[in-house]
Amino acid sequence: MSNKIQRYFEKDNGIRLPVDDKYLQPFLSPTAKNTHFRESPPASEISERQKGRVLLQIHQMLKYVKFGFGQCADHASFDIRDGLLTRDKAIELVKRYDGQCGARFIKEFCDYIEISIDEFWRVADSFRGPMWEKNSKDEWVLKDSIWEQQEKIKVDG
C-alpha cells in the first residue's frame, strides 16, 4: 500500500480525521498524555456537545456488546473495500479498539442518567449477544473471533 494514500474517518460535521492508532487512542483515553482533551466539568456543566460525545462512545460500545462488532469494524470494512487497509491490519485494529470505551465515558453516562456503574453493566450484559462466552478468568470474550479465525488460517495455511 502506498504511503501517499490517506485513510480518513469523516465525522457527521464533515471534519475528516486520519484513521490510525494515533487518532483512535485519544477516544479511548481522552485524558491521556499528548491529547487535546481536558478533564470534564461537573455533570451539571456538561454541554450538549459533550453529552453527544459521551453518548456516541457508549452507543458504539453497547453495539459491540449486543452484536459483537463496533465502530472500528465498521470503518475497517469500508477501508478494506476501498483498498486503503489490508485485512490483517484491519483485524489488528478491530481486536485492539472494537468495544473499547473509556471508563470516564461510562461514569459520565451513569451520572447523567443517575444509575450506578454496576447497574449499567447489569443491564448491558442482559442484552449481550449469543456470540459471547466467559473465559476461565470470568471475562467476556467473543466466540470464534475474526482474529482467532485468522490465526487458524495461518496455522493450517
Rounded CA Rg of the chain: 17
Predicted local distance difference test score (pLDDT) of residue 31: 46
Q: What's the grid cell of residue 145?
A: 473471533
pLDDT in tens, 23-78: 455 444 444 444 444 445 555 555 666 677 778 889 889 999 999 988 888 888 88
pLDDT digits (tens, 9 = 90+) for 90-144: 899 988 888 888 888 899 889 888 999 999 999 999 999 999 999 999 999 889 8
| Three cell numbers written together for 22 | 494515533
Higher pLDDT, 139 or 11: 139
Q: Which band of pLDDT confidence, cut at 50, 70 and 90, is reported for residue 152?
A: confident
Q: How far apart are alpha carbons 141 and 43 in whole angstroms? A: 32
Task: Read off the pTM.
Answer: 0.64
* Predicted pLDDT of residue 120: 93
Q: What is the pLDDT of residue 14?
A: 53
Query: Do the strands 16-18 and 8-10 form a parallel or antiparallel pair, or are they unpaired?
Result: antiparallel
Q: If pLDDT is split at 50, 70 and 90, which confidence band does 149 have?
A: confident
Whether 24 contacts 16, CB under 8 Å: no
pLDDT of residue 108: 87
Following DSSP, what letter does each residue of 74-98 receive, concatenated? HHHHHHHHTTSS-HHHHHHHHHHHT
What's the pLDDT at 99?
86
CA distance 70 to 42: 29
Three-class secondary structure assignment of 3-29:
CCCCCEEECCCCCEEECCHHHHHHHHC
The answer on pLDDT for 150 being more than 90 is: no
